C-alpha cells in the first residue's frame, strides 16, 4: 500500500472514516456522503460467485523441474531439457463443500496446476485420485446435485448420494477409493495428485502418444481416520489451508515426484481397458510410470482473494505438444471450465496477474468487456491485418486423430475387461486387512443412513460384484447398523 492519507476509490482524500455525514447533530445520514456510499456499495460486491464445485481451496506458487528426457514423446518447450524450470501455481481444494466448509472431510481433493510456460499457460486440472465417479460429462450436473444440498432439506442427503451411486455402477471404483484410507488426507502435502484423464503428447516429428500424469508426494502418504477427521474438522476447519501456508512460510517446501505413463497410440484400440475411461487406471504393470520431473511449492500467495479465489484453471489451456484425448469427461470439461470462469470471474479473467502468462504474453484480438485493462492500446483488433498485428502460425498444437462413424448418443467402445467392477475389486484386494475393515466400517456407516432398503441393497450389490467378500462383509455391516 503506498504511503499517504486514506482516499476514496477515485483517489480523493477522506476527511472522516469514523462518522457518516448527517443533517445536523443527531440527524439522518446525507446522500452527499459519497465516501460512505462507495464504501457500503463496494462491500456489498466483495464476493464473486463461489465455484459450484471445488469452492473450498488453497494455493501456492512453485517450480516444476524436468528430470528426464521426454523429447521422444512431446515437443512441449517446458519439457524440452533436463534441469529446465517452469514457474507453477497449484490450487488444492475439496469438491462438495461450500467456501467456508471444513478441510478435514471425506471428499476427493482438487489438484489444479498451472504451468507458466514460454509457449503459454498449460493447465493440468487434476485430483488426488487417478479415477472419477463417472465417465461422461453429461452425468456431471446430476452427480454433483447428489453431493450438494437437497432442494427440500437444504442438507447433503445420504439417500441422494447412494441412490445415484447405486444406479451408476461405474462409480464403484472411485467410491471404494473414497471410503478407503486415502479418502481423508491428513493435509494437502501428504497426498498424491493425478492428471486423471488421458492426454495426448506429440513429439517434434508429429508422432502422438497417450499419457497419464502422476504426482507422488515426497512427504509420504498420510491420512486421517473418520474419527480423527471429525474432531479436526470441528476444532480447525482450515487445517489443510493453514498447514500448506505455514509449511511454506517455514521453508519446509512440499514437493512431488512427477511420473508419466505413456501408451503408444497403436495400443489403444485393443488395450484390455478403454484407455479413455476416467473410471479406470492403466495398471502400472501394463504401462510402468516413468519419472519425468519434480514439483516444489515454495511461495505463498500475497492475497488469497486475488490469487486463489480468482485463479482459473481450464483443461483446454494446452501448449504445443500437449492436447486432449477422446475421454468424454475431458471433452465436457474442455467447455465447462472456461464457461464457469466467464460467469464467475468474467470475460477478462485471463488478464489477472495469477492467470495471465508469466513467461510469454497473450497476443489476441479479443477486446473490451468488463474490467478490460486496455493493454492493447490502439492496436488493430482483427486478423489478417496489414499493420503488423499477430498472425496465426499454421502449426497445429497437437497431432490429428482419426475418427469415423455415425453420430449418436453411443456408449464408449467396449474393450475386453471394460466392466464397472473389476478395478474396484483389484483395489479392494490390494488393501491390508486393517484397511478393509475401516473401508467396510466407513461405507456401512454411510449406507446405513439411507431411508430405503432398495437404495441400500442396490449400492451393496455393486460392491459384491467387485468382490464377493467385499459385498458379503458390507452387507453384514450394514445389517448390523440398520437392525
Ligand atoms: P499396483 O500395485 O502397481 O499399484 C497400486 C497403486 O495403488 C499404487 O499406486 C498405490 O499407491 C495405490 N494404493 C495403495 N493403497 C491405496 C489405497 N488405499 N487407495 C488408493 N490407492 C492405493 O497396481 P495397479 O497399477 O495394477 O493398480 C491396482 C489398483 O490400484 C487400481 O485398480 C487402482 O484402484 C489403484 N491405483 C492404481 C493406480 C494406477 O495408476 N495404476 C494409481 C493409484 C491407485 P502408492 O504407490 O502411492 O502407495
User: Domains (ranges, CATH) in the chain?
Assistant: 1-46 (4.10.91.20), 57-132+183-351 (2.40.180.10), 422-482 (no CATH)
The dihedrals phi and psi of 295, each to the nearest 5 degrees, come to -115, 130
Ligand 1 pocket test: which of 108, 184, 427 has the largest number of ligand atoms within 8 Å of its C-beta?
427
Cα 92 to Cα 295: distance, rounded to the nearest angstrom: 14
Q: Look at residue 2 in the predicted model and tell me its pLDDT.
A: 80
Residue 7 has pLDDT above 80, yes or no: yes
Atom number, ligand 1, closest to the C-alpha of residue 289: 40
**Distance set, CA 135 to CA 142, 171, 173 (Å):** 13, 9, 12
Q: Within 6 Å (CB) of ligand 1, which residues are found?
A: 130, 177, 180-182, 192, 216, 221, 281-285, 423, 426-427, 430-431, 435
> Do β-strands 85-94 and 57-66 pair in parallel, antiparallel, or remain unpaired?
antiparallel
Per DSSP, helices labelled H in 287-327 are 304
Residue 141 host element (H or E): helix 140-147
As given in the structure block, the three cell numbers for residue 388 are 503488423
Cis peptide bond upstream of 384, omega within 30 = yes
Distance 177 CA to ligand 1 centre (A): 10
Return the residue whose CA atom lies nearest to atom 27 of ligand 1: 283
Atom number, ligand 1, closest to the C-alpha of residue 214: 40
Cα 254 to Cα 230: distance, rounded to the nearest angstrom: 25
Tens-place pLDDT, residues 175-221? 999 999 999 999 999 999 999 999 999 999 999 999 999 999 999 99
Cα 26 to Cα 20: distance, rounded to the nearest angstrom: 11
Catalytic option among 35, 54, 173, 358 = 54
Contact of 115 with 121, CB cutoff 8 Å: yes
Q: Is 127 a catalytic residue?
A: yes
8-state DSSP, 50: P
Return the residue whose CA atom lies nearest to atom 47 of ligand 1: 216
Tens-place pLDDT, residues 342-396? 999 999 999 999 999 999 999 999 999 999 999 999 999 999 999 999 999 999 9
Helices and strands, number each (H, E), in the chain:
12, 10
Atom number, ligand 1, closest to the C-alpha of residue 426: 32
pLDDT band at residue 156, thresholds of 50, 70 and 90? Answer: very high
Q: Quick one: how far is CA 478 from the chain centroid?
A: 32
Residue 483 has pLDDT above 80, yes or no: no
pLDDT band at residue 402, thresholds of 50, 70 and 90? Answer: confident
Q: Mean pLDDT throughout 120-127?
A: 98
Burial class (CB in 10 A: 0-12, 13-18, 19+), 280: buried
Ligand 1 pocket test: which of 281, 291, 431, 435 has the largest number of ligand atoms within 8 Å of its C-beta?
281
Q: Look at residue 177 in the predicted model and tell me its pLDDT.
A: 98
Atom number, ligand 1, closest to the C-alpha of residue 283: 25
Q: Is 240 a catalytic residue?
A: no
Q: Mean pLDDT throughout 320-332?
A: 97
Written as one string, the DSSP assignment of 374-421 is -TTTT---SSS-SSS--------SS------S--S-PPPPP-TT--SS
Tens-place pLDDT, residues 211-247? 999 999 999 999 999 999 999 999 999 999 999 999 9
Q: Look at residue 225 in the predicted model and tell me its pLDDT.
A: 97
Q: Look at residue 360 in the predicted model and tell me its pLDDT.
A: 98
Cis peptide bond upstream of 187, omega within 30 = no
Other Cβ atoms within 10 Å of 127 Cβ, number: 23
Atom number, ligand 1, closest to the C-alpha of residue 216: 47
Q: Look at residue 316 in the predicted model and tell me its pLDDT.
A: 97
Tens-place pLDDT, residues 20-59? 999 999 999 999 999 999 999 999 999 999 999 999 999 9
Contact of 63 with 296, CB cutoff 8 Å: yes
**How many CA within 13 A on the CB side of residue 144?**
14
As given in the structure block, the three cell numbers for residue 446 are 454411510
Catalytic option among 35, 121, 127, 475 = 127
Cα 85 to Cα 76: distance, rounded to the nearest angstrom: 13
Percent of the chain predicted with pLDDT > 90 = 96
Percent of the chain predicted with pLDDT > 70 = 100
Distance 200 CA to ligand 1 centre (A): 22
Distance 131 CA to ligand 1 centre (A): 11
Residue showing cell 483395489: 427
Nearest to 216 by CA among 180, 246, 261: 261
Return the residue whose CA atom lies nearest to atom 26 of ligand 1: 283
pLDDT band at residue 472, thresholds of 50, 70 and 90? Answer: very high
Average model confidence (pLDDT) across the chain? 96
Residue 413 has pLDDT above 90, yes or no: no
Tens-place pLDDT, residues 256-309? 999 999 999 999 999 999 999 999 999 999 999 999 999 999 999 999 999 999
Q: Look at residue 226 in the predicted model and tell me its pLDDT.
A: 96
Cα 428 to Cα 464: distance, rounded to the nearest angstrom: 11
8-state DSSP, 309: I
Ligand 1 pocket test: which of 224, 283, 286, 438 has the largest number of ligand atoms within 8 Å of its C-beta?
283
pLDDT band at residue 414, thresholds of 50, 70 and 90? Answer: confident
Distance 132 CA to ligand 1 centre (A): 14
Distance 14 CA to ligand 1 centre (A): 61
Atom number, ligand 1, closest to the C-alpha of residue 129: 43
Tens-place pLDDT, residues 129-140? 999 999 999 999
Written as one string, the DSSP assignment of 132-183 is -S-S-GGGHHHHHHHHS--TTTSS--HHHHHHHHHH-GGGHHHHHHHHSGGG
Q: Which residues of 396-417 are buried (b: 16+ CB within 10 A; e: fewer)?
A: ebbbeeeeeeeeeeeeeeebee
Return the residue whose CA atom lies nearest to atom 43 of ligand 1: 130
pLDDT band at residue 167, thresholds of 50, 70 and 90? Answer: very high
Residue 86 host element (H or E): strand 85-94
Amino acid at each position: 500500500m503506498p504511503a499517504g492519507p486514506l482516499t476514496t476509490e477515485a483517489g480523493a482524500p477522506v476527511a472522516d472514516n469514523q462518522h457518516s455525514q448527517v443533517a445536523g447533530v443527531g440527524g439522518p445520514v446525507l446522500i452527499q456522503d459519497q465516501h460512505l456510499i462507495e464504501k457500503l456499495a463496494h462491500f456489498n460486491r466483495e464476493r464473486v460467485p463461489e465455484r459450484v464445485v471445488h469452492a473450498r481451496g488453497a494455493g501456492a506458487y512453485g517450480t516444476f523441474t524436468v528430470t528426464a528426457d521426454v523429447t521422444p514423446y512431446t515437443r512441449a518447450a517446458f519439457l524440452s531439457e533436463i534441469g529446465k524450470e517452469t514457474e507453477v501455481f497449484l490450487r488444492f481444494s475439496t469438491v462438495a463443500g461450500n467456501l467456508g466448509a471444513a478441510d478435514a472431510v471425506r471428499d476427493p481433493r482438487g489438484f489444479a496446476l498451472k504451468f507458466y510456460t514460454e509457449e503459454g499457460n498449460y493447465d493440468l486440472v487434476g485430483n488426488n485420485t487417478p479415477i472419477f465417479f463417472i465417465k461422461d460429462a453429461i452425468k456431471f450436473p446430476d452427480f454433483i446435485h447428489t453431493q450438494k444440498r437437497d432442494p427440500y432439506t437444504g442438507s447433503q442427503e445420504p439417500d441422494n448420494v447412494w441412490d445415484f451411486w447405486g444406479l451408476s455402477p461405474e462409480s464403484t471404483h472411485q467410491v471404494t477409493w473414497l471410503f478407503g484410507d486415502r479418502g481423508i488426507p491428513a493435509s494437502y502435502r501428504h497426498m498424491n495428485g493425478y492428471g486423471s484423464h488421458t492426454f495426448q503428447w506429440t513429439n517434434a516429428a508429429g508422432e502422438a502418444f497417450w499419457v497419464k500424469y502422476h504426482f507422488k508426494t515426497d512427504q509420504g502418504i498420510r491420512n486421517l481416520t473418520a474419527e480423527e477427521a471429525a474432531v479436526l474438522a470441528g476444532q480447525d476447519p482450515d487445517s489443510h489451508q493453514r498447514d500448506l501456508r505455514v509449511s511454506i512460510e517455514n521453508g519446509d517446501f512440499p514437493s512431488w515426484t512427477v511420473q508419466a505413463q505413456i501408451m503408444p497410440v497403436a495400443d489403444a484400440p485393443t488395450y484390455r481397458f478403454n484407455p479413455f475411461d476416467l473410471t479406470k487406471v492403466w495398471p502400472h504393470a501394463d504401462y510402468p510410470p516413468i519419472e519425468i520431473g519434480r514439483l516444489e511449492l515454495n511461495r505463498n500467495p500475497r492475497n488469497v482473494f486475488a490469487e486463489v479465489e480468482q485463479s482459473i484453471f481450464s483443461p483446454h489451456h494446452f501448449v504445443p505438444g500437449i492436447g486432449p484425448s477422446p475421454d468424454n469427461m475431458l471433452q465436457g470439461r474442455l467447455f465447462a471450465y472456461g464457461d464457469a470462469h466467464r460467469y464467475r470471474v468474467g470475460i477478462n479473467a485471463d488478464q489477472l496477474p495469477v492467470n495471465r502468462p508469466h513467461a510469454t504474453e497473450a497476443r489476441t484480438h479479443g477486446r473490451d468487456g468488463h474490467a478490460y485493462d486496455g493493454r492493447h492500446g490502439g492496436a488493430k483488433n482483427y486478423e489478417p491485418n496489414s499493420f503488423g498485428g499477430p498472425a496465426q502460425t499454421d502449426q497445429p498444437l497437437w497431432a490429428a486423430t482419426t475418427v469415423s462413424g455415425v453420430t449418436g448418443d453411443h456408449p464408449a467402445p467396449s474393450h475386453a475387461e471394460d466392466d464397472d467392477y473389476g478395478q474396484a475389486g483389484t483395489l479392494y484386494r490390494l488393501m491390508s486387512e486393517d484397511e478393509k475393515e475401516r473401508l467396510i466400517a466407513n461405507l456401512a456407516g454411510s449406507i446405513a443412513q439411507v431411508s430405503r432398503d432398495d437404495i441400500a441393497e442396490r449400492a451393496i450389490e455393486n460392491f459384491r460384484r467387485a468382490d464377493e467378500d467385499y459385498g458379503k462383509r458390507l452387507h453384514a455391516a450394514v445389517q448390523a447398523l440398520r437392525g
